[in-house]
Amino acid sequence: MIYQLTYLSDTYKVKGYLCLPYGYDFPAAALQASLENYYQTGNLPVTEIAKSRLAEDGMLTDRKWPVLVYCRGGIGKVGAVKTAWLEDFSPHGHLIFAPCYRGNEGGEGRDEFGGADQEDVNSAIRFLRTLPFVDPARISVMGFSRGSINATQTAAGLQQIHKLVLWGGVSDLAVTYEERIDLRRMLKRVLGGTPSRKPEAYASRSPIRLVSRLACPVLVMHGSEDQQVDIGHSLRLYEKLKKEGLPCMFHRYEGYGHHLPAPIHKEAISRMFRWLEQNKKPAEG
């Protein structure tokens, strides 16, 4: 089952998607009551988006579930939360939460590409930890493309993040500015200038600059022929992770680009969830 939620981040009402493990249900009214009780305000609607075709025998509340927070890529309508991905994630025994970032899908505020919108991720995680069917010690974060910025900021800034996954992710936004001429206008507008004029804005949105603040295992995933985010971003990040002694793994998809073909995509998801379920291991080369 997939719901769209309205919740609070700073003073804004923002949107996000909650996907339950396949076959499980939870009343929308009870979910809305939990939101409004936590944020101490009314009018935080919950809308059912999709429902599982088959129902499990047990109740969602019979156990505490791990959570994967999926940080979307892009900005605005480009790279919006992929509900098809939520459906692909749902058979793997996790609750999935996907923040839309402020200013998107009817949410208030303005997406800052890893600026103040980072609170949208943090606020959602703080709320999720209060739900009685969530295991607060097993909340992991995955960032796709631009989402690697928000995901890494989350893992660097919040305690008790279980694991971090960076899929086709930007690791150095100043490098992206040089590589992606088509994104320069947007980056200058959102960040207030070029990397030379606003170095701190680019550095704070660069996962490779945040590695020293990480304390959880990291999985890096990338297609070797990615034309949107060059694989060099992930290779350099992976080397930095190993140098810092963090438990890490690299899933390289040889011959594939930013988006994987459906069968490869589903296998990549299965591998990712298998890694999430593994115990912490030393860095692997």
Half-sphere exposure for 209 (CA within 13 Å, toward CB): 15
4, 16 Cβ separation under 8 angstroms:
yes
What are the structure tokens assigned to 56, written together? 């499990």
From 145, 171, 206, 234, active-site residue = 145
Contacting residues for 11 by C-beta, under 8 A, at least 6 apart: none
Number of CB atoms found within 10 A of residue 209's CB: 18
Helix locations, 102-259, DSSP H: 118-128, 147-157, 173-179, 184-191, 199-203, 232-243
C-alpha–C-alpha distance, residues 136 and 142, integer Å: 16
C-alpha–C-alpha distance, residues 163 and 186, integer Å: 31
From 251, 258, 259, 265, active-site residue = 258
Burial of 45 (C-beta count, 10 Å sphere; 0-12/13-18/19+): middle
Q: Amino acid identity, residue 107?
A: G
- Which helix H or strand E contains 189, and what residues bound it? helix 184-191
| Residue 145 among the catalytic residues | yes
**C-alpha distances in Å from residue 165, one per residue of 84, 261, 285:** 19, 20, 16
C-alpha–C-alpha distance, residues 164 and 139, integer Å: 9
Collapse the DSSP code of 258 into the 3-class scheme (helix H, G, I; strand E, B; otherwise coil) and give the result: coil
What are the structure tokens assigned to 116, written together? 């103040």
Q: Amino acid identity, residue 84?
A: A
Which residues are marked as active site?
Answer: 145, 258
